[in-house]
Structure formats: structure tokens, C-alpha cells
């Protein structure tokens, strides 16, 4: 990376300056090569002189001037930059030599991230009904993080946690066994779609039927006990729906390494082991009075139990119940055991069987595998689950694993709602005039993934005049995936079918068309201009494109460090926009001379290579034709 080249050169020069002047390097000095917003201030800029001014008792411009003089003598700098100059009040601005940049290739080091394994858990949909677009946002974020970290040299293992002992599956089973839903399974293309309506129907029935609520508690207990016909039906239902979920994710390029079933955590004694460890800590205790009497709870850090409770967070108990008074485990209890295993500190291991091609699944009679034992754990779970994630961290700390607690990362994100137009198109009553409609499985409101893809395919197909390249279904999947990735993680998305398929603007379709356009230019030319291209007197559009192309390695590194897929989206859109401006303003195949033609072909080739890399990180196809 160019920023790394600058950083190492500045480090060497600063050591020379400190030794020569008898100065010491101050603590906390940060050498960061930043991208100036104004190109007149260079392609890269550093402010280290201003940081050193007080410690070295010299004006920042004097330090910056000395630093510039020495940097010009560094081979790595002179071999890549046309100009290095000081600017008030103490910046060092560096201007790339684009002829030299064109002849160079800057790769992200293959072992950039070290040897530690990163375990990413994402998707983790309750196996009780079809997946909807909110679930898909989770899957797209998690899959992109996995691609991003692999691209930057990490060893990544992807887990999909299956909560087959939870309330949601119990509710669906109550509906299947005792409900009075009018739904007929034969009328549905997928079992999960049928269960979608059964789940919604039984929740409406719960309101007026206390006996049905008692059935729910019985079913939940039977699932956890793990024997009998209800537990067997639960297993069959969950597995069938999970297989449908996996098929629903395939068109989006989303896959997993391991399925971890909640029942395995209970059956294999993971919770019993975690329970014994927790009982040895002062923060886990059996309550003997009050409304939590008979419950095992994880106490908060403060003496009065309020220290770590977020202000205004009244929906959660101050102390987290892990085992209810009836003996039923909460989700967080099993999650604590699961995370002890993730980090390899539980002292127990799963067994595994093949669930599908290249996909392992926990099982009581399987084989041992080298799975888990991660250095870093990333959980992609919507921001509403921040409280239980905090409880898992606290449990790790209480159990004597502060480093693991620190390396447990919760990647939260905003939920997905439907625009008024999209909701109306799905048959939702929009007479209340709201601008958006949140999805609710209990109310049956939402757009299922398979249905969404079908509808998007139809819209894409209707907008295409030529269909010789990528299929409309593949374009639809890419459009949806990009739409769900391009927003900041904490943004709550209002999804609109028409917006997601626009051919211009910040959409996946725009990126795919831009890539195909570059491929077409190079194919017509029969050459990419490699080995003979020089920038010469570049136009404004050419310089802007080269400048942004040069920032790709830094963008990739920053997105990985910040776990921010939207950073890659923003870069890819900016890059595609600049290429299309260049394409419209600068004749390529009909350039005024052979030198300019070869240069523009080379620039087109560099754009194609870079955008392809970004598309791959984002999980999008790179079509030669659209």
C-alpha cells in the first residue's frame, strides 16, 4: 500500500532527525498518510510536524520543511512521487507521479493480518418460517465481512447458529399441532412459507386463548428435554426450514462453514460445564426472594445492579436471568456456553457430520474437527441485541477471560422496513399514511427472500432491452445485495423495489454496467495498453480516476479494520462514477494519438481490475456483458 510506503519512509527519516538533533520521539505520535479532500493539497498528506512541534520546540513549518528535504532523498518516495512539499501550518503533501504509479502494482500483503482465526457468526435465523429481507441484510453483512477479512489475509471461519430450542420454533410447533390456521400446506411452494402463515396465525390466537399459551410452555420444555414426538417434530421442522434458508441464500453467493445447533450445546453438556464455571464466580447466583426467586441470574457489575444498565433501557432486567425458575434456559445462557467454546476455553468439543457440500453441522454421533478456537469472534446481530451481547462479554470477564471479552465484537445494524409503495404492492394496508412499515413475523408483515428475488427479477427483466449477458435473476440478486450493504450499518433501511433496480445512481446495477463497459472497451481494442502507457499531460477526469484507483488498498484496509462493508460500497460507486465521467469526456479507442490511446486503455484496465476486486469483496458478479 502506498500509505505504508510513506509511513515507513517517514519513520526512518524521523529517527534520523531525532538522532541528529538530540530529540526524542514523543509518546502517542501517529504517522497517518491521509487523503486530502482537495487534490491541490496532494494525493497524500501527513501532519506529523504539527504533532512534533511542542516536543521538539521548533515551528511546525521548519520541521515539515526538513522532513520534505529528507523524504525526497528516500528511494521509495522519489520512485513514486513527483513532488513533496510543505504547506502551512505544517503539513507534508505528496503528489504521485502517475507514470510511475501506472507501472507499479500495490497488493495487500497476503499475511497482512497475522495467523489468528476470525470466527464470524451471521444469519442465525430462527428455524420456524421463511427468511425475510431483514434476515438477508444480516447475511449480506456477515458474508461481506468474511470476504473482506479473507481478502486482507485473515483466516476466517463462518458459523450459522440454529436456535432450534427457542420460543419461535415452539410457537410454530404449537400452530402446527394445536392451531386452527386456515393455511393449507399444499398451496405453498415452500414449507417455510406455510409456516410463515402458521406462525402469524398462532400469535393472533395466543391473545384470546390461555390454554394455547400453556401448550407453548409445554412444547418449549419438550424441545429442551429432547425426547418424545414433539422434540422429534421440532427437529424435522427446523432441519427442513434450515435447508430452505440455505437455498434462499445461494443466489446471493452466501455460504457457511459450520451450522451450530442449539440442541447440541444442551445435549453435549456445554451448558452444564459453563454452569459449573459460572457458579464459581461472585456475579452468578440463585435468587431466593423477589420476582426472580428461583432463577439463576448474572448480576450486574454495580453493587445496586444499575451501573452497566444503559440510560432509558427499561425493557431489560437489570440482572440477566440465565436459568428460569422452571429450569428452562434463556437464550443468553446457551450463548455464554457457545462463546466459551468459540474461544476454545470451555474444555469441551462438538462432533460434526456433513450437512451439505462443504458444510459441516454439529451432531451427537459425528466426527471431531478442528473448528472453533478463534482468536477473534465477530457476531453480526441487529442492534436491538446489544444488551444480551454485553451480558456475554460480562460473563467472559467474570470467568477470567478478559482478553477474549475484548476480542468479542458485536457488529450491530439497523432493521429493514418496507417503503409505502413496496408494502402496498405486497398487500399491506397502508391507509394509515405511514412512510414505512417495519416487518413483523408475528403479524405476517414482510417480504420473504424468495418472493423478493422473484419480484426483483421481474422488474429487472422489464427494464432490459438486451438479455445476452448476465441473467435477470443474477442482476436482481446483486441489486438487492448491494442495496442492503451500501448504507451505514446503524442506518435503518427503508427498502423500495424500484429504487434498488435503478440503472443510474448508487445501485448494484450501475456498478455491473460500469464493469461491463470497461470489458467491452478492452475487448474492442484487443489490448489493455500494458507496458507502454504513460500519463503525460493528464486531463482532470484522468487524474481524478487515477487518484481514486490509487486509494483502493487503503480503502480495503480501512474497511476491514472498521468492519464496515459500506466503505467498500462508497468507494466502488465513486470509482464507477469517475470512470463513466472519464469514458464520456476522454475518447479511448478514438484518442488523438497512439500514446494517449494506450494510456487510456491502461487506465481502463486498471479500473476494471480494481472494480472487479471490489465487486468480489462485496459478493457481486463481474459480468463481461449485461
Q: What pLDDT sits at residue 311?
A: 39
Q: What percent of the chain has pLDDT over 70?
A: 94
> Does 49 have pLDDT greater than 70?
yes
Q: What pLDDT sits at residue 301?
A: 62
> Does 434 have pLDDT greater than 50?
yes
> Does 380 have pLDDT greater than 50?
yes
Q: What are phi and psi of 84, to 5 degrees?
A: -130, 120
**pLDDT band (50, 70, 90) for residue 71:** very high
Closest residue by Cα to residue 86 from 58, 63, 59, 64: 64
Q: What pLDDT sits at residue 124?
A: 97
Of the two residues 159 and 99, the one the predictor is more confident about is: 159
pLDDT in tens, 218-276: 999 999 888 899 999 999 999 999 999 999 999 999 999 999 999 999 999 999 999 99
Contact 298, 284 (CB under 8 A): yes
Q: What is the mean pLDDT of residues 361-377?
A: 95
Cell reading at 500: 434498488
| Residue 198 CA neighbour count, 13 Å, CB half | 26
* CA-CA-CA-CA dihedral for 398, 401, 405, 407, to nearest 10: 180
Residue in the structure block whose three cell numbers are 429432547: 226
Q: What pLDDT sits at residue 305?
A: 42
Bridge partners (DSSP) listed for residue 260: 161
Query: Mind spelling out the 3-state secondary structure of 390-425?
Result: HHHHHHHHHCCCHHHHHCEEEECCCCEEEEHHHHHH
Cell reading at 42: 496532494
Q: What pLDDT sits at residue 291?
A: 92
The structure's pTM equals 0.92
**pLDDT band (50, 70, 90) for residue 318:** low
Q: What pLDDT sits at residue 315?
A: 46
> Does 367 have pLDDT greater than 80?
yes
Enumerate helices (H) and strands (E) in the chain, giving the number of each. Answer: 24, 16
Q: What pLDDT sits at residue 426?
A: 78
> Does 308 have pLDDT greater than 70?
no
Q: What is the mean pLDDT of residues 170-180?
A: 93
**pLDDT band (50, 70, 90) for residue 333:** very high
Bridge partners (DSSP) listed for residue 83: 95
Residue by residue, DSSP assigns 134-153 as HHHHHHHHHHHHHHHHHHTT
**pLDDT band (50, 70, 90) for residue 304:** very low
Q: What pLDDT sits at residue 465?
A: 81
Q: Which residues contact 198 (CB under 8 A, 6 or more apart)?
A: 129, 172, 175, 176, 179, 181, 183
Cell reading at 532: 507502454
pLDDT in tens, 605-626: 999 999 999 999 999 999 999 8
Closest residue by Cα to residue 478 from 617, 620, 340: 620
Mean pLDDT of the residues in the chain: 91
Q: What pLDDT sits at residue 467?
A: 80
> Does 529 have pLDDT greater than 90?
no
Q: What pLDDT sits at residue 147?
A: 98
Q: What is the mean pLDDT of residues 82-88?
A: 96
Q: What pLDDT sits at residue 571?
A: 98
pLDDT in tens, 197-209: 999 999 888 888 8
Residue 571: exposure state from Cβ atoms within 10 A (0-12, 13-18, ≥19): buried
Q: What are phi and psi of 555, to 5 degrees?
A: -65, -45
Residue in the structure block whose three cell numbers are 500519463: 535
Q: What pLDDT sits at residue 61?
A: 97
Burial 211-247 (b: 16+ CB within 10 A, else e): ebeebbeebbebbbeeeeebbebbbebbbebbebbbe
Q: What is the mean pLDDT of residues 194-199?
A: 94
pLDDT in tens, 344-359: 999 999 999 999 989 9
pLDDT in tens, 8-20: 999 999 988 888 7
CA–CA distance, 87 with 85 (Å, rounded to integer): 7
Domains, in order of start, for the chain: 2-96 (3.30.1360.70), 417-500 (no CATH), 508-618 (1.10.730.10)
Q: Which residues contact 50 (CB under 8 A, 6 or more apart)?
A: 60, 89, 90, 91
pLDDT in tens, 113-161: 566 899 999 999 999 999 999 999 999 999 999 999 999 999 999 999 9
Q: What are phi and psi of 88, to 5 degrees?
A: -60, 145
Q: How far is CA 349 from CA 176, 270, 275, in A?
A: 34, 8, 16
Of 76-90, 309-323, 365-379, least confident by mean pLDDT is 309-323
Amino acid at each position: 500500500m502506498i500509505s505504508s510506503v510513506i509511513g515507513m519512509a517517514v519513520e526512518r527519516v524521523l529517527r534520523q532527525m531525532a538522532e541528529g538533533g538530540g530529540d526524542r520521539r514523543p509518546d502517542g505520535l501517529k504517522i497517518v498518510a491521509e487523503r486530502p479532500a482537495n487534490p491541490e493539497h496532494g494525493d497524500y498528506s501527513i501532519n506529523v510536524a504539527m504533532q512534533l512541534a511542542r516536543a521538539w520546540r521548533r515551528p511546525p513549518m521548519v520541521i515539515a520543511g526538513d522532513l520534505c528535504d529528507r523524504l525526497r532523498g528516500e528511494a521509495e518516495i522519489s520512485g513514486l512521487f513527483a513532488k513533496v512539499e510543505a504547506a502551512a501550518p505544517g503539513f507534508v503533501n505528496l503528489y504521485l507521479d502517475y507514470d510511475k504509479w501506472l507501472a507499479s502494482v500495490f497488493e495487500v500483503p497476503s499475511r497482512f493480518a497475522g495467523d489468528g482465526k476470525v470466527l464470524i457468526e451471521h444469519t442465525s435465523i430462527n428455524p420456524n418460517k421463511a427468511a425475510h429481507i431483514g434476515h438477508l441484510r444480516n447475511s449480506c453483512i456477515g458474508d461481506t465481512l468474511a470476504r473482506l477479512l479473507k481478502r486482507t489475509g485473515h483466516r476466517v471461519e463462518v458459523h450459522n447458529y440454529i436456535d432450534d430450542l427457542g420460543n419461535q420454533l415452539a410457537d410454530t410447533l404449537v400452530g402446527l399441532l394445536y392451531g386452527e390456521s386456515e393455511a393449507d400446506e399444499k398451496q405453498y411452494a415452500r414449507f417455510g412459507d406455510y409456516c410463515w402463515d402458521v406462525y402469524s396465525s398462532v400469535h393472533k390466537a395466543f391473545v384470546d386463548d390461555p390454554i394455547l399459551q400453556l401448550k407453548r410452555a409445554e412444547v418449549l420444555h419438550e424441545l429442551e428435554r429432547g425426547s418424545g414426538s414433539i422434540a422429534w417434530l421440532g427437529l424435522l421442522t427446523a432441519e427442513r426450514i434450515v435447508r430452505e434458508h440455505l437455498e434462499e441464500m445461494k443466489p446471493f453467493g452466501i455460504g457457511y462453514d459450520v451450522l451450530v445447533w442449539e440442541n447440541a450445546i444442551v445435549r453435549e453438556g456445554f451448558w452444564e460445564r459453563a454452569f459449573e464455571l459460572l457458579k464459581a464466580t461472585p456475579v452468578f447466583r440463585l435468587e431466593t426472594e423477589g420476582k426472580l426467586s428461583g432463577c439463576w441470574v448474572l448480576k450486574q457489575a454495580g453493587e445496586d445492579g444499575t451501573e452497566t444498565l444503559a440510560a432509558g433501557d427499561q425493557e431489560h432486567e437489570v440482572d440477566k436471568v440465565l436459568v428460569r425458575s422452571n429450569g428452562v434456559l434463556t437464550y443468553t445462557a446457551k450463548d455464554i456456553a457457545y462463546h466459551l467454546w468459540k474461544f476454545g476455553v470451555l474444555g469441551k468439543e462438538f462432533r460434526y457430520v456433513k450437512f451439505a457440500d462443504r458444510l459441516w453441522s454439529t451432531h451427537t454421533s459425528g466426527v471431531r474437527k478442528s473448528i472453533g478456537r478463534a482468536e477473534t469472534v465477530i457476531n453480526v446481530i441487529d442492534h436491538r441485541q446489544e444488551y444480551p451481547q454485553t451480558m456475554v462479554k460480562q460473563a467472559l470477564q467474570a470467568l477470567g477471560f478478559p482478553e477474549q471479552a475484548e476480542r468479542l465484537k458485536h457488529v450491530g445494524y439497523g432493521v429493514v422496513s418496507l417503503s409505502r409503495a413496496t408494502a402496498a404492492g405486497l398487500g399491506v394496508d397502508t391507509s394509515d399514511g405511514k412512510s414505512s412499515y417495519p416487518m413483523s413475523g408475528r403479524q405476517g408483515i414482510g417480504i420473504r427472500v424468495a418472493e423478493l428475488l422473484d419480484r426483483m427479477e421481474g422488474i429487472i427483466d422489464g427494464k432490459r432491452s438486451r438479455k445476452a449477458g448476465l441473467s435477470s435473476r443474477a442482476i436482481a440478486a446483486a441489486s438487492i445485495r448491494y442495496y442492503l450493504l451500501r448504507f451505514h450499518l446503524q442506518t435503518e433501511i427503508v427498502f423500495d423495489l424500484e429504487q434498488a433496480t435503478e440503472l443510474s445512481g448508487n445501485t448494484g446495477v450501475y456498478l455491473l454496467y460500469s464493469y461491463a463497459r470497461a470489458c467491452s472497451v478492452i475487448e474492442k481494442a484487443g489490448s489493455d495498453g500494458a507496458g507502454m502507457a504513460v500519463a503525460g499531460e493528464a486531463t482532470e477526469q484522468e487524474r481524478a480516476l487515477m487518484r481514486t484507483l490509487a486509494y483502493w488498498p487503503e480503502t480495503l484496509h480501512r474497511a476491514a479494520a472498521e468492519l464496515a462493508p459500506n466503505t467498500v460500497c462508497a468507494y466502488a460507486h465513486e470509482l464507477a462514477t469517475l470512470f463513466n465521467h472519464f469514458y464520456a469526456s476522454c475518447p479511448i479507442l478514438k484518442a488523438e494519438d497512439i500514446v494517449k490511446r494506450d494510456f487510456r486503455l491502461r487506465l481502463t484496465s486498471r479500473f476494471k481490475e480494481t472494480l472487479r476486486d471490489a465487486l468480489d469483496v462485496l459478493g457481486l458478479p463481474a459480468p463481461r456483458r449485461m
